[in-house]
Amino acid sequence: MIFLAAGTQDGRELAGVLLAAGYDVTASVVSRYGEELLAKYPGLRINDQPLDEDGLAAYLRDNGIRLFVDASHPYAANVSKNAMNACRRLSVPYIRYERQSVPVEYERTFRVESYEEAAEKAATLGKNVFLTTGSRNVKAFTESPFMKDCTITARVLPTAEVIAELTALGLTPKNIVALQGPFSTELNIALYRQYGAEVVVTKNSGSLGGTDTKLEAARALDLPVVLIDRPEIRYDAMAETFDEVLEFVAKHLPRK
């Protein structure tokens, strides 16, 4: 049995690839929406419970997991660290699959290392801040003392849970853009204009995460971009393609 941390679109696609190759797979997701997206894969087992390092180690041991594929979001550093530690404890082979980042050549890009630093920097660049970082870290901006005089607009997935989360943080409907991507450069331009964006905050989630079109739209409007860099993690094993994952699996999980 393979345990797959499937926190991204390409992670979900990887679940299908592993199943098609004949492997038994348990996919772990952190949202109801993610679970719904995986429903198209018959035979796929789902874990929808959040697991810390100890919980993950117990799950791997109790469910006979023989290999771990980490396709969690590039910014979910704690997930990857917990996974590696749990796998080391049990001598379970681990491989990280991660989409490539997008080369950043836009001169009005300001790199930061955290959401808190992003809030501080964005406040110096404009008063209308357009967030494209997802819903999980909006709190870092709404609670930042540097953002008290700023208007925050957050673009997020259109789910009831996410809308409720942002409403609880004090955002009103006029400051919530609830849309499902992917977003073209043209649509990004239209949204930046519609909401009067003066600065865009994003992460380098790769082209699949829409980073390239966000940057292109900002360049077209001459808007500054605050880019939160990916956390630096030394992975035990790394792959950038599905084929590399399959090669690793075939090596460490030979067929009977």
Which CATH number does the domain housing residue 149 bear? 3.40.50.1980
243 and 197 in one domain? Answer: no
pTM listed for this prediction:
0.77
Q: Is 154 left (phi over 0), alpha (psi -120 to 50) or beta?
A: beta
Q: What is the CATH number of the domain that holds 6?
A: 3.40.50.720
Instruction: Supply the pLDDT for residue 142.
Output: 95
* Nearest-5° Cα angle at 169, 167 to 175: 60
Instruction: Supply the pLDDT for residue 207.
Output: 67
- DSSP code for 101: P
Mean confidence (pLDDT) of the chain? 91
218 and 114 in one domain? Answer: yes
Domain limits for position 205: 109-228
- Quote the strand ranges of 99-189, DSSP E: 109-112, 128-131, 151-156, 176-178
224 and 239 in one domain? Answer: no
Residues 6+ apart with CB under 8 A from 174: none
115 and 213 in one domain? Answer: yes
Query: Residue 142 in contact with residue 152, Cβ under 8 Å?
Result: yes
Residues 6+ apart with CB under 8 A from 249: 2, 18, 21, 23, 67, 69, 95
Domain count, the chain: 2
- DSSP strand pairing (151-156 vs 176-178): parallel
- Other residues' Cβ atoms within 10 Å of the Cβ of residue 131: 29
- pLDDT tens-digit profile of 13-57? 999 999 999 999 999 887 776 777 787 888 899 888 888 999 999
